[in-house]
Amino acid sequence: MNGPTVPTASARAGSLGPAPAPETVTALLEPPVGEATPAPAFPRPRTPEPAELNTPRVPRTLLSRLNSRALHTHFGTGVGVVILAVLLWRLGTGVLLDGLRRIDTVTLLAALAIGVVTTVFSAWRWQLVARGLRIRLPFGPALADYYRALFLNAALPGGILGDVHRAVRHGQSAGDLRRGVKTVVLERVAGQIALTVFGAAVLLTLPSPVRDDVRGFAPLAALAAMGALAVVVAVRMNRASTRRRGALRATLGEARQGLLSRQAGPGVALSSAVILAGHVAMFVVAARVAGSAASVPVLLPLAVLALVAMGLPLNVGGFGPREGVTAWAFGAAGLGASNGVAVAVVYGVLSFVASLPGAVVLVARWYTGLRGYPRTPSPSPDVSNAYVAPKDSTRLASSSFPFSADPREGRPMTPDSV
């Protein structure tokens, strides 16, 4: 008995029609020319490269920690602490404590007087730069804010937080944050220019531990710096877009108006010279208090080196690199490294005393903020629950920290946290 016949595979294929040619299959599978291959609905996981498989995780974790914000914030403080610890360990505390014991009332009054002169001229320089940038800044509020910034610089790590606060709050109170910050930056740049010019003249002419090195290195360094600056400016001007060129020209124009204009230039130069003379006078007073009998021409190069070291943001309340550089400079000049540390520490104490009026400004503004603005009355029951925008006085009264100020008086306002 014969069962039903089962068709073979070739018979089934023949019933479906002739098989397509290989070229036809390739044309159907490949996208037309000029069209991108569509992405799969579920992309395949990326296969790691052999180099990535062999890279350990420890260096990457270490690099991420080195780039953390906390390390950047506390790096300068740590460096300052290390410098002070090494100096005290190597040189001892005998001469240092002896210099601190010699600070008397007359010395403190002299420091306050020098501080008044330097701060008044600093506030005037700030006002001149702000006027050049067309920002209103009355002299009285500028003087108070500058004292406050000096106190914050001396009391907080880093040595620049007071200036940062002054820049931000001045820009906010003036209604132009960018120009407010540029005003403070240009004002500080004017001081650095004065220090550079005076320091180069002193280090090239007067006997100092670095005079021979400066005489041989200064011309080459100046030519190299000018050449590098010219190359950088030319490259940036050629590659920069029209927008960037306009921003660069605007920045240079603002710097010229703030520092080199007829209205601001003479005053900025005069105030910078007086401020620098005040800092040098404070260093000489500190040297005399610490027991150094060196003449003023001998102390001038050492004071310049100390002032340059003070510009480094690697300190604890101003202490750190200044003490290290002064110890080396005094030791190289034959005056004793321990005496150099004593002079630097006494200078730091006198500078802090000179900035103490800034603490009075903080307390006074805190008290004015507490007593000068009434609290917001509670809404009556018949008032709807609609949102009511707080007034300016309410915002100012809500801050009881002694950093508040009234922007209508032309003074910067300080945030609750610096």
H, E, C per residue of the chain: CCCCCCCCHHHHHHHCCCCCCHHHHHHHHCCCCCCCCCCCCCCCCCCCCHHHHHCCHHHHHHHHHHCCHHHHHHHHHHHHHHHHHHHHHHHCCHHHHHHHHCCCHHHHHHHHHHHHHHHHHHHHHHHHHHHHCCCCCCHHHHHHHHHHHHHHHHHCCCCCHHHHHHHHHHHHHHCCHHHHHHHHHHHHHHHHHHHHHHHHHHHHHCCCCCHHHHHHHHHHHHHHHHHHHHHHHHHHHHHCCHHHHHHHHHHHHHHHHHHHCCCCHHHHHHHHHHHHHHHHHHHHHHHHHHCCCCCHHHHHHHHHHHHHHHCCCCCECCECHHHHHHHHHHHHCCCCHHHHHHHHHHHHHHHHHHCCHHHHHHHHHHHHHHHCCCCCCCCCCCCCCCCCCCCHHHHHHCCCCCCCCCHHHCCCCCCCCC
Q: Is the pLDDT reported for residue 80 higher than 90? A: no
- Over residues 277-292, the pLDDT tens digits come to 999 999 999 999 998 8
For 15-40, b/e burial (b = at least 16 CB within 10 A) is eeeeeeeeeeeeeeeeeeeeeeeeee
Report the pLDDT value the prediction gives residue 159, as an integer from 0 to 100.
Answer: 74
Q: Exposed, middle or buried by CB within 10 Å (0-12, 13-18, 19+), for 220? A: exposed
Q: Which residue has the higher pLDDT, 159 or 382?
A: 159
Q: Is the pLDDT reported for residue 83 higher than 80? A: no
Report the pLDDT value the prediction gives residue 127, as an integer from 0 to 100.
Answer: 94
Q: Is the pLDDT reported for residue 111 higher than 60? A: yes
- Over residues 359-375, the pLDDT tens digits come to 999 899 888 877 654 44
- Over residues 219-240, the pLDDT tens digits come to 656 666 667 666 666 666 665 5
State what percent of residues in the chain have pLDDT above 90.
28
Report the pLDDT value the prediction gives residue 89, as an integer from 0 to 100.
Answer: 76
Report the pLDDT value the prediction gives residue 261, as an integer from 0 to 100.
Answer: 86
Kindly report the length of the chain.
418
Report the pLDDT value the prediction gives residue 109, as an integer from 0 to 100.
Answer: 96
Q: Which residue has the higher pLDDT, 396 or 165?
A: 165
Report the pLDDT value the prediction gives residue 90, as an integer from 0 to 100.
Answer: 72
Report the pLDDT value the prediction gives residue 262, as an integer from 0 to 100.
Answer: 86
Please state, rounded to an integer, the average pLDDT across all residues of the chain: 74
Report the pLDDT value the prediction gives residue 98, as an integer from 0 to 100.
Answer: 76
What number is the average pLDDT over the span 91-101? 73
**Lowest-confidence range among 76-90, 189-203, 313-327, 400-414?**
400-414
Report the pLDDT value the prediction gives residue 86, as an integer from 0 to 100.
Answer: 76
Domain boundaries along the sequence of the chain: 92-135+176-355
How many angstroms from the chain centroid is the CA of residue 401? 24
Q: Is the pLDDT reported for residue 57 higher than 60? A: no
Q: Which residues pair with 316 in a beta bridge?
A: 319
What number is the average pLDDT over the span 177-187? 91
Task: Give the angle subtended at the CA of 237 by the CAs of 249 and 255, to the nearest 5°.
Answer: 25
**Lowest-confidence range among 50-59, 126-135, 159-168, 196-205?**
50-59
What number is the average pLDDT over the span 159-169? 87
What number is the average pLDDT over the span 141-161? 88
Flag whether the pTM goes above 0.75: no
Residue bearing tokens 């620098």: 276
